[in-house]
Structure 1
Amino acid sequence: MVHYKTYLQGLLAFRRPLDDQMLLCHLPDEFGGWRPKAISPLIVADMKDLTLAPKLVSDAIYLKRDLESLLGTLYVLEGSTLGARILYRRANELGLDGTHGARHLHEQAASDGFVRFLQILDAAPDVDMNKVIGASDLAFQWAETAFKDNVNE
């Protein structure tokens, strides 16, 4: 359970700044009515279930608002739903589920947001895929830093 708690701390440090910025971000018309799902409130609820206080983290993550940056970052955020399906099963083995301790994983595992996002990505007009890949790499770096900063603290 210690590792799961560390995971929650790192994930919140990564997702909260991005979720907050996405909520304030005007998404391009190409996105239609689709919006990414903010999971940081669910992570906080999971932490409360496990009597784990969220740590205060600086918002060192800054999301650029150009189309390529949004697509690259969202590729990482929405792509995490695939891994959430595996992690949710493992959380179940710890006695956690969609109503206690693993709400965020349950929400992500049940989501079809990645499929819809890939449709948006495929239909995006004239995007520089090198910039999209660069933004994805940056999002992975943010995640790595958030997790490293929350190990053994």
Structure 2
Amino acid sequence: MSMSARRQFLRERTGPIHQRLDECVGTFSDIPAYLRYIRGMLGFRRPIETQLASTRLPAQFGNFTPNYLADALERDLAALGASPAATARSEAQPMSNLCADRLLGTLYVLEGSTLGARLLVRRAAALGLHAGNGAEHLQKQSSDLGNWNAFAALLDSAREVDDETMAQAALATFAHALDAFEKA
């Protein structure tokens, strides 16, 4: 799928903070580093997913449903003998105003992480982890690009969108993720 002008705009606007987040996530070359990654992901995703789950998506979103991972992340922690209660939570509030523009920016980050998960699932496999023993969320996230493709189509077709508001929401979401990983 070719990249639309809107996705290119978001990619360029968020590139520096996205790179900082990737560096913070690291390579998780051992189980303690992987647990830190899961805790960071859970601290990032749980508050946003909770808010999204109680938000009525705009009619223009059609049948699109975000990919929720927080429960799978908690199961992954439990499978590895770690307590979800010990997970650091980020204090950032990236979704204070849930207009369509902000939702699109936030979902750009959440759904876009599917693409990175395809690399991370291989890193987890190198540690002997798979869906049944600590990498369920990665398997769920990386096994099908359908949700990303549906979101990309929604993003590309959205009308009357303030691209700057959308970009600010994406930046805030990346900042929220970075905060969660730094606290993990």
| TM-score, normalised with respect to structure 2 | 0.78
Q: How does 1:5-44 map to 2 (within 5 A)?
A: 5-44=35-74
Provide the C-alpha distance between the structure 2 equivalents of 1:53 and 1:21, rounded to a whole number of angstroms. 23
Q: State whether residues 37 and 181 of structure 2, in contact with CA within 8 Å, keep that contact through their aligned partners in structure 1.
A: yes
Letter in 1 for 2:83: A
Q: State whether residues 72 and 133 of structure 1, in contact with CA within 8 Å, keep that contact through their aligned partners in structure 2.
A: yes
Provide the C-alpha distance between the structure 1 equivalents of 2:71 and 2:170, rounded to a whole number of angstroms. 23
Provide the C-alpha distance between the structure 2 equivalents of 1:9 and 1:87, rounded to a whole number of angstroms. 15
Provide the C-alpha distance between the structure 2 equivalents of 1:56 and 1:35, rounded to a whole number of angstroms. 26
From 98, 104, 107, give the equivalent of 1:74. 107
Provide the C-alpha distance between the structure 2 equivalents of 1:140 and 1:8, rounded to a whole number of angstroms. 16
Q: State whether residues 17 and 61 of structure 1, in contact with CA within 8 Å, keep that contact through their aligned partners in structure 2.
A: no
Cα distance change, pair 12–137 in 1 and its aligned pair in 2 (3 A): same
Letter in 2 for 1:149: K
- Aligned-residue CA RMSD in angstroms? 1.2
Provide the C-alpha distance between the structure 1 equivalents of 2:148 and 2:91, rounded to a whole number of angstroms. 26
Provide the C-alpha distance between the structure 2 equivalents of 1:109 and 1:2, rounded to a whole number of angstroms. 22
For 1:140, the equivalent position in structure 2 comes to 174
From 15, 37, 60, give the equivalent of 2:91. 60
| TM-score, normalised with respect to structure 1 | 0.93
The count of residues paired between Structure 1 and Structure 2 equals 150
Provide the C-alpha distance between the structure 2 equivalents of 1:47 and 1:56, rounded to a whole number of angstroms. 9
Map Cα deviations across residues 106-136 of structure 1 (whole Å, 9 max, x no partner): 0010132111101001111110111111110
For 2:13, the equivalent position in structure 1 comes to none
Provide the C-alpha distance between the structure 2 equivalents of 1:9 and 1:60, rounded to a whole number of angstroms. 14
Cα distance change, pair 5–57 in 1 and its aligned pair in 2 (3 A): closer
Provide the C-alpha distance between the structure 2 equivalents of 1:61 and 1:104, rounded to a whole number of angstroms. 23
For 1:84, the equivalent position in structure 2 comes to 117
Map Cα deviations across residues 87-106 of structure 1 (whole Å, 9 max, x no partner): 00110111111122000000
Tell me the CA shift for residue 56 of structure 1.
5.4
List gaps (5 residues or longer) in structure 1: none
Tell me the CA shift for residue 57 of structure 1.
4.8
Provide the C-alpha distance between the structure 2 equivalents of 1:52 and 1:23, rounded to a whole number of angstroms. 26
> Structure 1 residue runs of 4+, over 3 Å off?
56-59
From 59, 64, 76, give the equivalent of 1:46. 76
Greater displacement, 57-66 / 45-54: 57-66
**Are 2:143 and 1:110 aligned?**
yes
Provide the C-alpha distance between the structure 1 equivalents of 2:65 and 2:37, rounded to a whole number of angstroms. 25
List gaps (5 residues or longer) in structure 2: 1-30
